[in-house]
């Protein structure tokens, strides 16, 4: 490692000079922090202050700097020194703003500041400015799986941005569902009439695009590698499988219509005149081809009455059918009713609905349906019984509050739901052990990932992102779901969704080439480095990685894939032998900080509590508590961690052994509506900490010594209160018996 030269800078601005002795802080940095160069500055973030730091780096060869001023979340433009390793001691929000400005508190406030300076100096010496992955591979060819409207849109939009695409389609033709429709719901002003699907034109555009290579009757036999270096075996029907390399993947495998034969009570299968929406589209296309009106399938008789049954097998609370709503079927039924009304206004069309869901400009389409004479009745259909060539539809009319029947319906259309083609559910299907990997016919991607062959599913089989603000964050970096496989949607939305997914794929490929991480630590150059000789192949890192980024070789050693890693550190937290670390964030960078704290002896009545706070939610909450001058106990020392999942239990035992009286872990909410940006980080920490009790017993310590909390970013009142309550609990159970032994 190049010769390290350290420097510490103590700022006197924003009240630090008045509330603290910065001269003493400088001394601490010098003597205890052993920093080669220490400077005090009245206004460190000013142009002059920043220039002083820059000069030390450029002229005096400083490689490691510790800045003791405000929070790492503040003044990021001013303190921007990418070439050097940098640590930030949070003296403003973390000390003077969170401690009372009173004479009595002056001493403990100064002690807190001294400790944070010690910690910053210790941390930076263990850090290295991340240089990025040396063997990052650049490949910006994209793979799109699925040739429906979503897949074709992703391919076309990527190509328009100048990126080459290979489009793989399972069937023998492009177009997917849209090709099976006669017309589509309008997506442009004036939103009044069924519109051309535009699929033919899109297929033509894909064909004519030199940037797009189409592979029909093909499936994915095997996918391995990582963003920037995916290698994918594309199997053709005739059996051969060519392996090609890609930078990123868009999975647009679409949906299948719910099997209406599971709805006998609605007459499906009992009469050819009961069809689902796809069936009606087929009838419409055949009629249009023959330039004749749609006839009754049973006897080719004239159609006078059509009944549309909404939410058929959907929004089902019994658990037997689909519990969700597919979003597009109300508008689709209106469109299909218009097929009849436009051809012959005398045809009676009735839509039986529970909630008519046509959001946005869909209301114009609803009004247009009404003006064409489509009748909308709020009713819950109980049965559809065929009677000769007609059907009777029995329902509860919720407006007129009575049981009613529509006799002699010539056609009944069931609005069934979308079932995602998301391949294999990796939570349910056992994974192949390394070396015994076999392709699975049901899998879409056939990933050779340790954690399974397809994208993890959110709910109801959709591979959706859990995050409202980040809809594309599937849990497999570089592989983006688009279209109805991600969530139920109509054509207009599938086009938007596919365009967005195309961008994310392009972005993943470009960033993989630069060794930069994807969301949420976008642009982070650090990546997990593992000392394999110390590894005991316990496989905890490969199993617990929320993003399935770590595979295993035959000898069960973990194989790290830098561009699949989101840099959350969960593997680092899991590793019992602590062989995993990042250049600027490791067991040592945090370990050094907690050991640098000066822990007073048991007679000083000054306990020390270590707080490990998630940098995404708990740490900002404590920062904002400081901004609101919401004070809390002076006995805590707060260390931000990338995610609670990265907390290695050694930090807890080291802290307790070195005399800390208590350890608080503050992470994000876990469980169903988890809030953790790394999906399972806080859940894993909670699980690991639940095992800590027996270690505490071995150390003859009370179980209260370690506490784990779920803290949200808005807990500006609650987080300080939790600290104060915990400090009171520690005062109650007394100082740690291990003080003085370290």
Partner 1 sequence: MATAVATNQTILVVGGGVSGMTAALEAAECGKEVVLVESSATLGGRTASLYRYFPKLCHPVCGLEINLRRLRGNRSVRVLTLAEVTAVSGTRGDFTVTVKRSPRYVNRNCTACGACAQAVSAEIPNPWNYGLDRLKAAYLPHAMAYPQRYVLDPSIIGTPDAEKARAACKYDAIDLGMQAETLELKVGAIVWATGWRPYDAAKIQPYGYGRFPNVITSVEFERLADPHGPSGGKILRPSDGKLAKNVAFVQCAGSRDENHLRHCSRICCMASLKQTQYVREAFGEGAQSTVYYIDIRAIDRFEDFYARVQRDPTVKFVKSKVARIAEDQATRDPILHGVDTEGYRRYASRHDLVVLAIGMEPSVRGADIPAEVVADSSGFIDAAADGAAVFGAGCATNALDVNRSVQNATAAALRAIQVVNRAARAES
Partner 2 sequence: MPTALNEQALARYRNDFLREVEERVDEGGWVKMCMQCGVCAGSCPFGPHWEHSPQKIFMMIRAGKREEVLASDSMWMCTSCYNCVVRCPRKLPITTIMHGLATYAHRLGLAPKRQPTRDFSVIFWENFTRNGRANEIRLMLRLWFRDGFGAGIRKALAMKEVGLGMLRAKRMSPFEIFGGHGVKDVKGFQAMIRKAQEIEDRKRGFSK
What part of residues 383-412 is at the interface with partner 2 (CB under 8 A)? 397, 399-400, 404
Phi, psi of 479 (to 5 degrees): -120, 115
Least distance between partner 2 and beta carbon 373 (Å): 6
Contact 147, 207 (CB under 8 A): no
Please work out, in degrees rounded to the nearest 5, the angle formed at the alpha carbon of residue 37 by the alpha carbons of 36 and 41: 155
According to the binding rule CB under 8 A, does residue 378 interact with partner 2?
Answer: yes
CB of 375 to partner 2, least distance (A): 5
Report the residue number, 99 or 305, with the smaller CB distance to partner 2.
305
Element holding 218 (H helix, E strand): strand 218-224
Interatomic CA distance for residues 682 and 343, integer angstroms: 59
Dihedrals φ, ψ of 459, to 5°? -150, 145
Torsion of CA 563, 566, 568, 573, to 10 degrees: -50
The alpha carbon of 205 is separated from its chain's Cα centroid by a whole number of angstroms, namely 33
Specify whether the CB–CB gap between 549 and 561 falls below 8 A.
Answer: yes
Two structure tokens written together for 258: 């719910």
Q: Which stretch binds partner 1 (CB under 8 A): 243-251, 351-359, 436-444, 724-732?
A: 351-359
Give the per-residue contact string, 24-43, with partner 1 (x = CB under 8 A; - = no). Answer: -------------------x
User: CB within 8 A of 76, min separation 6: which ones?
Assistant: none
Q: How many residues bind partner 2 (CB under 8 A)?
A: 14
* Min dist. Cβ of residue 374 to partner 2 (A): 8
Question: Smaller CB distance to partner 2: residue 44 or 352?
Answer: 352
> Residue 485: what are its φ and ψ, rounded to 5°?
-70, -25
Q: Taking a C-beta distance cutoff of 8 angstroms, is the pair 563, 512 a contact?
A: yes
Task: Work out how close the CB of 372 gets to partner 2 at its nearest, in angstroms, rounded to a whole number.
Answer: 9
- Of residues 348 through 377, those in contact with partner 2 by CB under 8 A are 348, 366-367, 370-371, 373, 375-377
Binds 627: which of partner 1, partner 2, none (CB < 5-8 Å by kind): partner 1
Could you tell me which residues come within 8 angstroms of residue 533 by beta carbon, excluding any fewer than 6 positions away? none
List all residues 6 or more positions away from 164 whose beta carbon is below 8 Å from its beta carbon.
Answer: 140, 141, 142, 211, 212, 213
Binds partner 1 by CB under 8 A, chosen from 187, 288, 559, 731: 187
Among partner 1, partner 2, none, what binds residue 607 when CB lies within 5 to 8 Å by partner kind? none
Q: Report the residue count for the chain.
A: 742
Scanning 26-34, 297-305, 503-511, 593-601 for contacts with partner 1 by CB under 8 A, the matching segment is 503-511
* Minimum CB distance to partner 1 smaller for 140 or for 658: 140
Q: Which stretch binds partner 1 (CB under 8 A): 172-180, 440-448, 504-512, 642-650?
A: 504-512
Which position among 164, 520, 607, 645 is part of the footprint of partner 1 (CB under 8 A)? 520
* Residues facing residue 665 across a β-bridge: 612, 708
Q: Which is nearer to partner 2, 352 or 479 (CB)?
A: 352
Report the SS3 class of residue 181. Answer: coil
Tokens in use for 218? 């093909």
Among 2, 59, 134, 162, indicate the residue that binds partner 1 (CB under 8 A): 162
Task: Indicate whether 326 belongs to the interface with partner 1 (CB under 8 A).
Answer: yes
3-state SS assignment for residue 539: coil
- 346 is written with which tokens? 């005398």
- The CA distance from 146 to 175, in Å, is 9
> Which of the residues 606 through 625 are near partner 1 (CB under 8 A)?
616-617, 620, 624
Span near partner 1 by CB under 8 A; candidates 58-66, 160-168, 554-562, 577-585: 160-168
Residue 193 binding partner 1, by CB under 8 A: no
Residues 399-428 that bind partner 1 (CB under 8 A): 399, 401
What, of partner 2, partner 1, none, does residue 404 touch, CB below 5 to 8 Å by kind?
partner 2
Among partner 1, partner 2, none, residue 370 binds (CB under 5-8 Å by kind): partner 2
Q: Give me the residues that bind partner 2 (CB under 8 A), please.
A: 348, 366-367, 370-371, 373, 375-378, 397, 399-400, 404
């Amino acid at each position: 490692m190049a010769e390290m030269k350290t420097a510490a800078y103590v700022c006197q601005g924003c009240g630090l000079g008045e509330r603290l002795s910065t001269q003493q802080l400088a001394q601490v940095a010098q003597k205890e922090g052993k920093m080669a160069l220490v400077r005090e500055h009245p206004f460190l973030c000013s142009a002059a202050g920043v220039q002083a730091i820059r000069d030390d780096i450029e002229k005096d060869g400083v490689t490691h700097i510790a800045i003791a001023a405000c929070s790492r979340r503040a003044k990021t433009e001013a303190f921007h020194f990418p070439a050097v390793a940098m640590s930030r001691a949070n003296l403003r929000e973390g000390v003077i703003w969170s401690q009372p400005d009173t004479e009595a508190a002056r001493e403990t406030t100064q002690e807190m500041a001294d400790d944070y300076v010690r910690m910053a100096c210790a941390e930076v010496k263990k850090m290295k400015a991340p240089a990025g992955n040396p063997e990052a591979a650049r490949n910006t060819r994209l793979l799109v799986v699925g040739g429906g409207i979503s897949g074709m849109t992703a391919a076309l939009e990527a190509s328009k941005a100048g990126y080459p695409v290979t489009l793989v389609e399972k069937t023998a033709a492009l177009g997917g569902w849209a090709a099976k429709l006669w017309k589509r719901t309008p997506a442009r002003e004036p939103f009044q009439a069924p519109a051309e699907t535009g699929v033919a034109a899109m297929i033509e555009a894909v064909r004519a695009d030199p940037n797009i290579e189409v592979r029909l009757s093909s499936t994915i036999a095997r996918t391995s590698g990582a963003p920037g270096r995916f290698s994918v075996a594309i199997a053709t029907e005739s059996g051969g499988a060519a392996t090609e390399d890609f930078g990123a993947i868009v999975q647009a495998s679409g949906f299948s219509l719910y099997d209406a034969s599971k709805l006998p009570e609605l007459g499906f299968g009992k009469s050819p005149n009961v069809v689902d929406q796809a069936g009606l589209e087929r009838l419409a296309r055949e009629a249009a081809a023959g330039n004749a009106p749609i006839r009754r399938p049973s006897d080719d008789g004239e159609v006078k009455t059509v009944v549309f049954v909404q939410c058929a097998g959907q929004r089902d609370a019994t658990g037997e059918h689909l519990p969700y709503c597919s979003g597009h079927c109300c508008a689709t039924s209106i469109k299909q009713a218009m097929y009849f009304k436009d051809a012959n206004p005398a045809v009676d069309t009735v839509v039986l609905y529970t909630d008519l869901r046509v959001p946005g400009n869909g209301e114009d389409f609803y009004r247009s349906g009404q003006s064409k004479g489509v009748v909308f009745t709020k009713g819950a259909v109980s049965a559809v019984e065929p009677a000769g060539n007609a059907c009777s539809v029995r329902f509860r009319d919720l407006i007129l509050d009575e049981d009613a029947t529509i006799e002699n319906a010539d056609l009944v259309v069931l609005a069934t739901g979308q079932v995602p083609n998301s391949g294999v559910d990796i939570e349910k299907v056992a994974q192949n052990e390394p070396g015994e990997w076999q392709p699975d016919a049901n899998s879409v991607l056939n990933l050779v990932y340790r954690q399974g062959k397809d994208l993890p599913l959110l709910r109801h089989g959709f591979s959706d992102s859990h995050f409202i603000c980040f809809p594309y964050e599937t849990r497999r970096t570089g592989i983006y779901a688009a279209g109805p496989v991600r969530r139920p949607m109509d054509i207009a939305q599938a086009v938007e969704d596919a365009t967005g997914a195309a961008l994310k794929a392009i972005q993943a490929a470009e960033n993989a080439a630069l060794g930069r991480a994807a969301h949420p630590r976008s642009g982070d150059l650090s990546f997990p480095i593992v000392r394999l000789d110390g590894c005991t192949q316990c496989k905890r890192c490969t199993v617990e990685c929320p993003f399935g980024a770590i595979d295993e070789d035959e000898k069960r050693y973990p194989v790290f894939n830098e561009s699949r890693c989101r840099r959350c550190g969960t593997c680092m937290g899991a590793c019992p032998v602590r062989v995993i670390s990042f250049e600027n964030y490791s067991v040592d960078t945090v370990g050094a900080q907690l050991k640098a704290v000066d822990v007073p002896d048991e007679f000083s009545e000054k306990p020390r509590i270590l707080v490990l706070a998630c940098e995404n939610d708990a740490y900002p909450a404590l920062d904002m508590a400081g901004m609101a001058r919401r004070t809390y106990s002076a006995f805590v020392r707060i260390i931000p961690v990338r995610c609670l999942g990265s907390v290695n239990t050694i930090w807890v035992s080291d802290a307790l052994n070195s005399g800390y009286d208590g350890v608080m872990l503050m992470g994000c909410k876990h469980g169903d509506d988890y809030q953790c940006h790394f999906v399972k980080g806080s859940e894993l920490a909670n699980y690991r900490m639940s095992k800590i009790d027996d270690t505490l017993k071995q150390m003859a310590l009370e179980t209260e010594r370690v506490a784990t909390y779920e803290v949200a970013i808005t807990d500006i009142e609650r987080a300080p209160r939790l600290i104060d309550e915990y400090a009171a609990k520690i005062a109650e159970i007394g100082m740690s018996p291990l003080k003085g032994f370290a």
